[in-house]
Amino acid sequence: MDLHTFLQTRRSVRRFKPDPIADSALERILTSATHAPSAHNRQPWRFIVVTTSVVKQRLADKMSAAFESALIADGLATEEIEKQITRSRTRILAAPVIIVLCLDPSELNQHPDQKRKKAEYIMAVQSVAAATNQLLLAAHAEGLGGVWVCSPLFAPEAVRDALELNESWEPQGMCFVGYAENTPQPRERKELKDIVVMVVE
Ligand SMILES: Cc1cc2nc3c(=O)[nH]c(=O)nc-3n(C[C@H](O)[C@H](O)[C@H](O)COP(=O)(O)O)c2cc1C
């Protein structure tokens, strides 16, 4: 497979076989993720790898509680809340490996200027996102599937609690990784003509 075909055949995989992932494959995936570019080479990414049912259960419990409060506040009907909570719990419990991506802001460049400070923080978020994408591509290279989910961003305290995270680590997202139960169809992409501007003069 040429590299472009490889890049274009990554899919978000949401259903997994229960087969475990070898530690050696996980280590290669995490190592490749750390070769992503990062602003000032600060490497603000942190990875928390969850493989055991007991921790998945704790994560599902804490995140569901936070999710339920948010859905109640949104005014959703009880049945709909139960449906969404069950779906979210099932996804966490069924994922063979969960890798939570955090941002550690402790080594970012400090600036008194608020605009510059904000830009440094955005660069750190972008760097963690670059590592997350690299992680998904590395999983694809191992013949594994994965999906990036944003729920930790909405329930950072629940994630911090469940995983006993360092105070300064900010949960940004998580990836569910495993052997794909099936290969999803490609999602539609916008055409280049609609999203690219070639500036010639
Ligand atoms: C920042 C980000 C957040 C995402 N959050 C979720 C999510 O919460 N749940 C989910 O099922 N997929 C999530 N996705 C996956 C996208 O839905 C998926 O990448 C998109 O539909 C394109 O499909 P593809 O990855 O198979 O090409 C997220 C992707 C990104 C980049």
Q: For residue 177, which of 89, 59, 50 has the smallest C-alpha distance? A: 50
Structure confidence by residue, pLDDT tens digits, 129-187 = 999 999 999 999 999 999 999 999 999 999 999 999 999 999 999 999 999 999 899 99
91 lines ligand 1 (CB under 6 A): no
DSSP for 136-191, written as a single string? HHHHHHTT-EEEEE-HHHH-HHHHHHHHT--TT-EEEEEEEEE-BSS-PPPPP---
193 lines ligand 1 (CB under 6 A): no
pLDDT value for 104: 97
pLDDT value for 145: 98
State the CATH number of the domain containing residue 170.
3.40.109.10
Domain membership flag for residue 195: no
Q: Which long-range contacts (CB under 8 A, 24 or more apart) does 155-158 make?
A: 155/62, 155/63, 155/66, 155/67, 155/70, 157/66, 158/62, 158/63, 158/65, 158/66
Mean pLDDT to the nearest integer, 70-88: 95
DSSP reduced 3-state for 194:
helix
Which atom of ligand 1 is least distant from the CA of 129? 1
Domain membership flag for residue 191: no
DSSP reduced 3-state for 17:
coil
**pLDDT-based confidence at residue 194 (cuts at 50, 70, 90):** very high
pLDDT value for 12: 98
Domain membership flag for residue 108: yes
Least trusted range by pLDDT, from 12-16, 63-67, 109-113: 109-113
Which atom of ligand 1 is least distant from the CA of 14? 11
Domain membership flag for residue 200: no
d(CA 68, CA 78): 10
Domain membership flag for residue 199: no
68: domain range? 3-181
Which atom of ligand 1 is least distant from the CA of 11? 26
Give the number of domains in the chain: 1
**pLDDT-based confidence at residue 77 (cuts at 50, 70, 90):** very high
pLDDT value for 111: 85
pLDDT value for 107: 87
Task: Tell me which of 149, 153, 159 to substitute to probe ligand 1's pocket, judged by most ligand atoms within 8 Å of the beta carbon.
Answer: 149
**pLDDT-based confidence at residue 110 (cuts at 50, 70, 90):** confident
Domain membership flag for residue 196: no
- Minimum CA distance residue for ligand 1 atom 1: 150
Q: How far is the CA of 12 from the centre of ligand 1 (A)?
A: 7
What mean pLDDT, rounded, does the chain reach? Answer: 97
